[in-house]
Structure 1
Amino acid sequence: MTWRKAQLSSATAARRLRELVIAGGYRIGTGFVGTPIISQALSSTGSLDVAYRQLQERGCPSWLYPIDQGATTIWERWDSQLEDSTVNPGQMTSFNHYALGAVAHWMHTTIAGITPLAPGYRKIAFTPQPGGGLTWAKASHDSPHGRIAIEWSIKSGVLTVQTTTPVNTTAALPMPSGMSFALSPGVSVHSESFA
C-alpha cells in the first residue's frame, strides 16, 4: 500500500468511527479491546468534540450511567446495577473491575494533558485539550522524580494553565494558540485568550 493510500484509508477510518459513534447516540458500542482506545482514537483524528460528548453520555451503556446509579468504582459491565437499583442477575457482576475504566487514561492525558516523553517522566508534555463545555480540570501523577501536576481553567475567555514540574525533569507546555513554553522544575502559570 502506498503512503497516499494509507493516508486516505486512515482518513476514511477516522470519518467512519466518528459517524458510528454519533449514530450510536454516543453510547459505548465497543468491547474490552475497543473501549480503552476509542476516546484516544476519536481525539487524535480530529473528533475531540465527539470524544467529549461520548464521555458525557448518561444512557446505558456509558461511563456516566454507573455514576448516576451511585457507583464509586468501575463496574465489570455497564449495567451491573439496573435503573431500578437491583443487581443485574447475570454472571458477570463485579462492582470493582477496571476494564471499562480505561477512559481514565484518556482523561489524564487528554483532558488534563499529562504525558510522559521519556521513561519515568524525565521529560513531560503538558498538553491539555479543553472541550466538552468543561471550564476546569486538574490532575497529578507521582513520578519517580516527584509530583507532576496540572490545573487549567477557563474564565471570561482566558485559559490559565498552572503546572508543577519536579526536580531533575524538563517539561513542555504547548498552548492552543501555538505558543510553547519550556518549563523548568517548579510551579509555572501561563494564560492566553481562549475562544
Structure 2
Amino acid sequence: MGATTIWERWDSMLPDGSVNPSNMTSFNHYALGSVANWMHVNIAGLHPLEPGWKRIRVRPMPGGKLTSCHARLLSPYGMIDINWRLDGEKMYLEALVPGNTTAEVTLPGHDTQEVGSGRHKFVVAHKAPTWPPLPIYPPFIPHDDDEP
C-alpha cells in the first residue's frame, strides 16, 4: 500500500470511490447531509418554523423535470409525511402533520393555509413552466428575434 495523504486519512471516501478503511470513517459530515437537507427543504418543501418541529412549513417547489416527491421525517411529535405530484395542470399534495403540531401549507401561486394535525389533501391548479426555461434578453442586447 502506498503513502496516503492527510485528506485520505481523515476522509470517508477515497479518490477511487472506495470507503476509507481507517477508524476515522464517518458519513455524518455536513457535506454529505447538506444535499439531503436541500432536497427536503426545497423539493419537498419541509422546514421547521419552531424548534422541535412544533410548527412546520410545507412549501414544495416543483421545478425542472420533477413531477413528484415523497419525503418523510420522524420529528419529536411523530411522523411528518409529504407527498406531492403534478398531473396535467393540477398539483396534488398530501401532508401528514403529527399530533399537537400545526403546519403552514403554501402551494405555488396560492395563499398560505394553516392546518392542524392529521392528514390533509390539496388539489390546486398548477401549470408547470417550460423546461428548460427560455433565456430572458435585456432590452439593450440585440438578439436574433429582433425585427429590423
User: TM-score by structure 2 length?
Assistant: 0.67
Q: Which residue of 2 aligns with 1:125?
A: 57
Alpha-carbon contact 1:76-1:100 (below 8 Å) kept? no
Runs of at least 4 residues off by over 2 Å: 75-81, 94-100
Q: Which residue of 2 aligns with 1:52?
A: none
| Match in the other structure for 1:100 | 31
Q: Percent identity?
A: 29
Letter in 2 for 1:178: H
CA deviations on 1:66-97 (whole Å, 9 max, x unpaired) are xxxxxxxxx8458442xxxxx59xx9xx6846
Instruction: State how far apart, in whole Å, the 2-side matches of 1:189 and 1:144 are.
Output: 23
How many angstroms apart in 2 are the aligned matches of 1:137 and 1:176?
A: 15
Higher relative helix content? 1
Q: Give the TM-score taking structure 1 as reference length.
A: 0.52
Shift of the 133–76 alpha-carbon distance from structure 1 to 2, 3 Å rule, reads farther
Code of the aligned partner of 1:100: A
Larger Rg: 2
Kindly tell me the number of residue pairs found equivalent between the two proteins. 114
Taking a change above 3 Å as real, the CA distance of residues 130 and 79 of structure 1, as seen in their structure-2 partners, is farther
Contact 1:76 1:97 in 2 (8 A): no
AA aligned to 2:117 is P
1:183 aligns with 2:118: no
2:103 counterpart of 1:171: yes
Q: Residues 178, 99 of structure 1: CA spacing in aligned structure 2 closer, same or farther, 3 A cutoff? A: same
Contact 1:161/1:190, CA 8 A, preserved across alignment: yes
What CA RMSD, in Å, does the superposition of the two structures yield over aligned residues?
2.6
Structure 1 gaps of 5+ residues are 1-74, 82-86
Summarize the Cα distance change of 1:99–1:144 in structure 2 as closer, same or farther, 3 Å threshold. Answer: closer
Query: Unmatched 5+ residue regions in structure 2?
Result: 1-10, 128-148
Alignment partners' CA distance in 2, 1:148 and 1:77: 32
Q: 2:72 aligns with which of 140, 153, 166?
A: 140
Matched residues in 2 for 1:157 and 1:78: separation?
A: 46
Following superposition, the deviation at residue 173 of structure 1 comes to 0.3
Choose between structure 1 and 2 for higher RCO, CA contacts under 8 A separated by at least 6 residues: 2
5 Å-filtered alignment, 1:14-163, equals 76=12, 79-81=15-17, 96=27, 98-101=29-32, 102-163=34-95
Retained in 2: the 8 A contact 1:170–1:184?
yes
Task: Give the structure with the higher percent strand.
Answer: 2
Task: Kindly provide the amino acid, as one letter, of the partner of residue 137 in structure 1.
Answer: C
